[in-house]
Amino acid sequence: MDRHDVNWRGYFAALPTPFSRQGELDLEAFTATVRLFIEQGAHGLLVNGSTGEWAAQSTRERKQLAEAAVSAAAGRVPVIIAVTHTQPARTVELAQHAASAGADAIMVPPPPAVRPCPAELRAYFAEVAASTDLPCWIYNFPQENATHLTVAQIRELVQLPHMVAVKQSAADDRELYATIEAVGDTAVVFGNMLSRLGLAAITSGFGGDGHFGSGMPLGSRMPAFFELAWKGNLEDAGRIADEFAAFMARLKGSEHDGYNWRYGGMQASLKAVMNLQGQPGGYPRRPKLPITAPDALAEISAALTDLGLRIGG
């Protein structure tokens, strides 16, 4: 199994997990978000990734979300389930549940907080890959899990059975393009492609298949970037790339660490954007906190309205 066995490209949205103010899981809001993102044109969805606050959930809740997403998507777009866990047995349990729920793939990062050595890392990925027939994504996001997969390690891991794709989220975009060069002929590679540099890579034939983003803060413009790029409409695709870069610069600020942004955590920031637009973003679950400062919300609102995005639905 390799990249030729799947048809994944474009903008895939990482779903937030809406909680109530009291911290209860809001499955109704989650289902509404799945439908909203599909209506806005997302080419695929990720459940229980970093944006989805997987660490704040019980195993039962994670399974409920996987089932709800597959049901609501109803085969219209690929649904990928992240199976992040510190314990291999729980990772395998989540992977097998994803398959039984009807997911299209799973996403596997290194086990967080464990900091495995190279031999342990390979053994972990091999065990998870062998536990399911689903295609697997390798997820490199050292800003969250404290293990930084090198391009050489990724090249080795994609040789494992079922490892067909890479979500490269290292902070330095040079690692994304090195990953494309190293494994792009056999594995799908997603990363920070919704950019001017990504547009050049797509249209030049260098490679890069898509972008996994936190939600859809710019709505239908995000998948439209790729559709325009595929058609060779560089002017309109470039305009969207510029809008996205400007918006994210305002949301993240100049001193962000790749995970916590200008006004609060990544998840809280996305939920604030959604709530301001009248969408079912919900609230983060403690210890993450919602963004409530009036000045911060006013500045986020201004960033949205400057792009012509409606406030309040």
**Residues taking part in catalysis:** 139, 167
CB-neighbour burial class of residue 182 (10 A; exposed 0-12, middle 13-18, buried 19+): middle
Q: How far apart are the first and last CA of the chain?
A: 43
Kind and range of the H or E run holding 241: helix 234-252
Dihedrals phi, psi of 190, to nearest 5 degrees? -110, 150
Q: Six-digit token pair at 231?
A: 């058609």
Burial track 214-236 (b if 16+ CB lie within 10 A, e otherwise)? bbbbbbebbbbbbbbbeeeebee
**Tokens matching residue 24:** 């209860």
| CA-based torsion, 100, 46, 41, 313: positive or negative | positive
